Amino acid sequence: MNSFTLLALLFLFISPSKLNSQNQEADSLLQKLESIDESEKPQIYNRLAKIDSRNKPQKKIDYATEALKIAREFEQKEEEFEALMQIATGYAYQGNNSKALEYDLAALKIAMELDINKYLSNVYSNLGYDYNYLGHYEKSLEYNLKSLDIKTRMLESGELKNRKSLSQSYNNIGSTYSFLKQYKKALEYHKQALEIRKGLSDSTGIARSLHNIGTTYEKQKEFSKASIYYKEALAIRKKLKSKREIAETLNNLGNIQKATGNQDEALRYFNEALQISEEINYKSGATPTTNNIAGIYLAQKKPDKAYPYLLKGIELANETGQKETLSEIYTNLVDYYTLKGDYKKAYETQEKSLIIKDSLYSNDLVEKVSEMQVKYETERKEKEIEILTKDKEIQSLKIKKQSVQLYLLIGFVFFAGLVSFLVFSRFRLKQKNARTELERRNLKTEQQLLRSQMNPHFIFNSMNSIQSFISGNDSFTAMTYLSKFAQLMRNILENSRKPFIVLSDEINTLELYMELERIRFKQKFDYKIMIGPGLPIETTYIPPMLIQPFVENSIKHGLRNKKDKGLLEIEFSQKQKFISCVVKDNGVGRKKAMELNKGKNTMPDGRQESHKSLGIQLTRERLETLGKSKNIETNFEITDLKDKNGKAGGTQVIIQMPFEME
C-alpha cells in the first residue's frame, strides 16, 4: 500500500470522530451562549460559523450574521471582520459570488483600518476567489498575488507558522492563470501547491490540487492526462464525502468523455454531478452541469430534451452571476433553434451571446466595486495626509532654526537644478515631440489599416453569399457563414485596439477570414498554417492586422483565377530579433493576374485605373513605424514563383515583423 492510499484511509477513519467532536463543541458553545454577557457573544457565534462549513452554508451565514450585529453594537472590529469573512464564505459555498464579493469588500475596509497582515492576506485571497468566479480574471490575479506576497513575508519573518495558507495562494493563482490561458504558469503554481499539501498530509488540499492540474490539462486538450488527475482527486473526495467537490470533479470527467466522443458515459457523469449539486443547493456548480447535459442532447439531435436544461441553466446563471457560462448556454440555444428550423430566433440569440461576452468586464458590479475601492483608498490617504501635515509643521520649526549658510546652500542647489533643467529641457522636448509624432503616425496607419480590413467590398460580397445560401435553402451553411463572419468582425475590432496580440489570436483571425473566402469561392482553394519549431503561440505577441492584406491578395488575384484547386500556405518562425511570416500561394502569379484584371478597372474616359493595394501600402508604412519604435529592421519582400519550365507558379511574400515574449 503506497503512502498516498494510506493517507486517504487514515482520513476515512479519522473523519467520523472529528465530526462527532465538532458536534460536541457546537453543543457546548450553544449552552455557553445562555450564560455569558452580550459583548462576549460575537466570538462564540463566529466559532459556531466556522464549525458549520461547506455542507451547511446557510447555517454558517446565520451564525455569522448574529456575530456581526453584536460586534458592530460593541464596536469590536476584529470580531466584525471575522463575521464578514464567514458570511462571504457562506455565500461563496452557495455559489452566490456577487453577494460574497459585497461582504469581502466590507471586510477589506476593516482589514485596512486594522493594518494586520493576517487579515489582509485572508481577505485578498477571498477577493481573488470572488473575482475569479465572476469572470474578472485580471482583478483575481491582482488580489491573489497581493495575498501571496504578504504570506511570503509573514513566513520569512516567522509570523506565519503553517505553509498550508501559502499552498492556497499558489492554488488560486494557478486557477486564475488557467482562465487567462497561460497554462504553463498555471501548472507551475498548481504543482507547487500540490507539493506543499503532500508535505502537510492535507487530503482535502491534495484533492483540490489534483483536480486543478486535471483542469489545466483538459483546457490544453490533453485529455488522457486530465482524466488521470481527475480520477485520483475523485477517489480522495469520495472517501472524504466532500459532496460539493465530488460534483465538481464528476462534471469535469463528463467533459472529458464528451470531448472524446463518449456521449453516453458523459451523460452519466453529468447527471450524477447535477443530482449532488441540487441536493446541497450548489447553484454555481449546477449551472455548467445543466448546460453540459443540454449540449449532449443537442449533439444527439434531441433538441426537445435539451430545451428544459437550457432554460434551467439560464435561470441559474442569471441568479449566480455566471456571465461566461450564460454566454455558453446562449450558444447552445442557437444550436437548439437551428435544429428546430427557427433561424430568426437563432440569429437573435447569437447576438445576445456576443453582447454578454462584451459586457463581462463592464457591468454595474465592477462600477460599484471601483467606487468602494476609491472610497477606501481616499480614507486611507486622508489619514496619511494628516500625518504628513503634522510632520511638515515640525520640519518647518526646524528649518527656522537653521543658519544663513543652510539657506545659501539650498539656494545654490536650487539654482544649479534650474540651470540643469534649462539645459536639458529642449533636448527632452525634442525627444517627446519625436515620440509623439511616431505614435501619431502609428495610430493613423492602424486606423487606415482597420478601415482597409473592414473592406466594404468584402462585407458586401459576404452578405451576398449569405443571401445566396438562404435563397438556395442551404440554411445550415448560411448560419455557419454568418456566425464565422460575426466572429471575424469582432476579432478585427478587438485586435485593432491593441499594439500587440497573442500569435494564437492572429492565427484564429486568419483562419476565420480564409474559411469565409473558401466557402464564398466554393472550395476553390485549401489553406495550411504551419508553426516553426520552438515558437510558443500562446506566449508570443505580434502586431495585429499585418498579414491579412497579403492573404487577401493571394486569394483575390492568385487563387481565384486558377483553373484547378489552389493551395495557400502560411508559416510563422522566429528569426533572432523578429518573427518571419511566409505567405505562399500556387496561383496564376502577379503578371497573369494583372492581365486578367484589365478591363475590370476601366475608368469612364476609357483609361485603365492603376491599382495598388491600400492594405499593403499601409502595412509597409506600419512596419516602418514599428521598426523605428523597436530599433530593428522590418520589411516585406514579394517574389514571383516559377515552375521547372519557367512558367508562373504563384507568389511568395516574406514579412519580417517585431515581436514580444511573455
Q: Are 125 and 146 in contact (CB under 8 A)?
A: no
Q: Are 58 and 94 in contact (CB under 8 A)?
A: yes
Tell me, what's the pLDDT at 389? 56
Q: How confident is the model at residue 542 (pLDDT cuts 50, 70, 90)?
A: very high
Provide the pairing of β-strand 660-661 with 540-542: antiparallel
Q: How confident is the model at residue 461 (pLDDT cuts 50, 70, 90)?
A: low
Tell me, what's the pLDDT at 400? 62
Tell me, what's the pLDDT at 613? 60
Would you state the cell numbers that stand for residue 550, as one nine-digit string? Answer: 497579403
pLDDT over 90 percentage in the chain? 46
Q: Hey, what domains does the chain have and what are their CATH numbers?
A: 20-136 (1.25.40.10), 162-241 (1.25.40.10), 242-326 (1.25.40.10), 439-596+612-661 (3.30.565.10)
- Cβ neighbors of 412 (< 8 A, separation 6 or more) are none
Q: Supply the DSSP symbol for 638.
A: E
What is the rounded average pLDDT of the residues 388-393? 57
Higher per-residue confidence, 458 vs 602: 458
Q: Where are the alpha helices (DSSP H) in 496-558?
A: 503-520, 548-553
What Å distances lie between residue 358 and 134, 140, 355, 480, 490, CA to CA? 14, 19, 5, 21, 10
Give the range among 280-284, 364-368, 563-567 with minimum mean pLDDT. Answer: 364-368
Rounded Cα distance between 40 and 42, Å, is 6
Higher per-residue confidence, 252 vs 349: 252
Report whether pLDDT(616) > 50.
yes
pLDDT tens figures, 136-175? 988 999 999 999 999 999 988 888 877 888 898 999 999 8
What is the rounded average pLDDT of the residues 92-110? 92
Report whether pLDDT(563) > 90.
no
What is the rounded average pLDDT of the residues 15-36? 73
Give the range among 23-37, 150-164, 367-381 with minimum mean pLDDT. Answer: 367-381
Q: Are 160 and 122 in contact (CB under 8 A)?
A: no
What is the rounded average pLDDT of the residues 326-352? 88
Would you state the cell numbers that stand for residue 139, as one nine-digit string? Answer: 482583478
Q: How confident is the model at residue 655 (pLDDT cuts 50, 70, 90)?
A: very high
What Å distances lie between residue 50 and 87, 99, 208, 236, 426, CA to CA? 10, 19, 20, 23, 65
pLDDT tens figures, 564-613? 999 999 999 998 889 999 999 999 988 888 888 775 555 444 444 444 46
Give the range among 171-185, 192-206, 347-361 with minimum mean pLDDT. Answer: 347-361
pLDDT tens figures, 247-271? 999 999 999 999 999 999 999 999 9
Rounded Cα distance between 194 and 186, Å, is 12
Tell me, what's the pLDDT at 304? 94
| pTM attached to this predicted model | 0.45
Amino acid 326 reads L
Tell me, what's the pLDDT at 4? 32
pLDDT tens figures, 39-75? 999 999 999 988 865 567 888 999 999 999 999 999 9
